[in-house]
């Protein structure tokens, strides 16, 4: 079962603090206890605790008493519950998935959002985002400078530079 089906049903999430669970917990407005092991989990746990949105424990050193006290503390924190509910409402209303998709598409298609950014690689207009194999199999051309994005019968689709 996907955890996005489970998280909305719980009052508290106990996690290692990976980016997916971390983001999904905020998305559903759930308080968290993080037991980080490595990489992004350590940073997520640190920021969570520093900002007061949850608690972190060292996974190999936390005692049963500490964990139970942390659970009780978070479940009893009504202010944190309200804050998490507000974050959840904002995230769910933000339409961020569509905005991210539009941004990726504007980069891939070189639309007006990125016009006038200097040196840009040239991808032939036969390239298709719906068929990525066309991007991999097309010959590449030398980058050229352009302040506009153009697509005509004889021209190419111009990509903005990656800065």
What does the domain layout of the chain look like in residue ranges? 3-94, 100-158
Instruction: Of 40-49, 77-86, 104-113, give the lowest mean pLDDT range.
Output: 104-113
Residue 130: per-residue pLDDT: 55
Summarised one tens digit per residue, pLDDT across range 113-159 is 444 454 444 445 555 555 555 545 544 444 444 444 444 334 444 44
Reported pTM: 0.63
User: pLDDT band at residue 56, thresholds of 50, 70 and 90?
Assistant: very high
Residue 127: per-residue pLDDT: 52
Nearest 10 degrees: CA dihedral of 144, 147, 152, 157?
60
CA distance 141 to 161: 14
Q: How many CA atoms lie within 13 A of 77 on its CB side?
A: 21
Residue 126: per-residue pLDDT: 53
- Whether domain 3-94 has CATH 3.40.50.300: the reply is no
């Amino acid at each position: 079962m996907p955890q996005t089906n489970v998280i909305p049903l719980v009052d508290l999430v106990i996690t290692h603090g990976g980016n997916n669970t971390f983001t999904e917990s905020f998305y559903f407005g759930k308080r968290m206890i993080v037991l980080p092991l490595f990489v992004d989990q350590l940073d997520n746990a640190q920021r969570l605790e520093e900002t007061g949105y949850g608690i972190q424990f060292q996974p190999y050193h936390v005692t049963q008493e500490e964990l139970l006290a942390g659970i009780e503390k978070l479940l009893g924190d009504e202010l944190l519950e309200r804050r998490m509910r507000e974050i959840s409402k904002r995230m769910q209303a933000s339409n961020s998935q569509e905005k991210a998709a539009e941004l990726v598409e504007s980069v891939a298609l070189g639309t007006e959002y990125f016009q006038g950014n200097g040196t840009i690689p040239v991808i032939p207009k036969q390239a298709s985002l719906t068929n990525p194999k066309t991007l991999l199999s097309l010959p590449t051309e030398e980058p050229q400078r352009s302040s506009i994005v153009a697509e005509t019968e004889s021209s190419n689709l111009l990509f903005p530079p990656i800065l």
